[in-house]
Amino acid sequence: VESGVLARVAPWLHTGPVQVKPGLSPDQVVETAHTILHEAGEDALTVRALSDALGVGTAAIYRLIVSKQLLRIAVADLVLSQVDVRAALRARARRGEPRWIARLRNLAVEVRRVLTEHPHSHSVLASELICTPATAAIADGAIGALREGGFSGSELVHAYNAWTGFVFGHTVLEIKPRTAESDELRHGIAGFLDDLDPQAYPNLTSELANLRDRAFSLRTHAGPVGGGRSFDWGLEMVLGSLRNRSKRAGGS
């Protein structure tokens, strides 16, 4: 097991022997963890559930992973490795638009697609610094596109952070699922919105019918906001601005 998930992530993510018993490898732990997280959610991903699923003692898991935190990071890497960076960079530009803009668009949409299909990986993405082969591939693609656009030095840093901050930030906020699982909490939020004081919140109350369940901080369900169209709207905003900055900086 040389080119497996854990070996890909980094040497510091696994310890001990590579092959413990027939059919049980560190990679299989990560893959099983991914399955549990995807199917049963964050709270269900426990070391004991993992060892049960693998038909092994609880302590045996720690011969294959160094800690649950690193396991979570390895799972996040596994999810993000589904982002097809190459395909995203290949796609063609709309007319009148430079190719690097199309690349940033496709990569952003692809990242969001993968994250939205794995809502339970949200808590890992939001609470750990993730620096793995999968994030490096995405970063490399985005940085390459921005360099094509003429960005360098501090402008490159800021442009990359703006793109990443919007793409990952917006998506992570969209998919956060914890509260959405409690009926009591959802009813509480609904009641709070029903009873808002028009004098205290004049703009909010007069636009509530329009914004409710479609806007951040004003919804009872997790998932895409704005009927799923706000992300694209905001992304075009970001891309348009990057294109303007690029022109000023002399890029295509």
Closer residue to DNA (CB): 20 or 139: 20
Task: By CB under 7 A, name the one of 38, 68, 99, 158 that touches DNA.
Answer: 68
The reply to whether 156 sits near a copy of itself by the rule CB under 8 A is yes
By a kind-dependent CB cut-off of 5 to 8 A, residue 166 interacts, out of a copy of itself, DNA, none, with a copy of itself
- Smallest gap from Cβ 34 to DNA, in A, equals 15
Q: Please tell me the distance from the alpha carbon of residue 217 to that of residue 199, in angstroms, as a whole number.
A: 19
Q: Please tell me the distance from the alpha carbon of residue 122 to that of residue 172, in angstroms, as a whole number.
A: 6
Task: By CB under 8 A, name the one of 122, 149, 246, 251 that touches a copy of itself.
Answer: 122
Buried b (16+ CB within 10 A) or exposed e, 57-94: eeebbebbbeeeebbbbbbbbbbbbebebeebbeeeee
Q: Please tell me the distance from the alpha carbon of residue 144 to that of residue 238, in angstroms, as a whole number.
A: 17
The reply to whether 69 sits near DNA by the rule CB under 7 A is yes
Strand partners, 24: 21
Closer residue to DNA (CB): 14 or 103: 14
Segment interacting with DNA, rule: CB under 7 A, options 50-58, 77-85, 196-204, 239-247: 50-58
CB 104 within 8 A of CB 163: yes
Closer residue to DNA (CB): 44 or 126: 44
Task: By CB under 8 A, name the one of 97, 117, 240, 252 that touches a copy of itself.
Answer: 240
- CA-CA distances (angstroms) from residue 115 to 83, 130, 248? 9, 14, 33
By a kind-dependent CB cut-off of 5 to 8 A, residue 123 interacts, out of DNA, a copy of itself, none, with a copy of itself
- Smallest gap from Cβ 64 to a copy of itself, in A, equals 17
The reply to whether 56 sits near DNA by the rule CB under 7 A is yes
The reply to whether 58 sits near DNA by the rule CB under 7 A is yes
- Smallest gap from Cβ 160 to DNA, in A, equals 32
Q: Please tell me the distance from the alpha carbon of residue 249 to that of residue 153, in angstroms, as a whole number.
A: 11
* Residue 28: both structure tokens together: 């299989």
Strand partners, 8: none
Q: Show contacts with DNA in window 20-49 (CB under 7 A).
A: 20-21, 24, 45-49
Task: By CB under 7 A, name the one of 38, 53, 63, 99 that touches DNA.
Answer: 63
Buried b (16+ CB within 10 A) or exposed e, 104-113: bbbbbbbbbe
- Smallest gap from Cβ 38 to DNA, in A, equals 16
Distance in angstroms between the alpha carbons of the first and the last residue of the chain: 46
The reply to whether 16 sits near a copy of itself by the rule CB under 8 A is no
In sequence order, what are the residues at sequence separation of 6 or more whose Cβ sits closer than 8 angstroms to the Cβ of residue 144? 89, 103
- Smallest gap from Cβ 241 to DNA, in A, equals 42
The reply to whether 109 sits near a copy of itself by the rule CB under 8 A is no
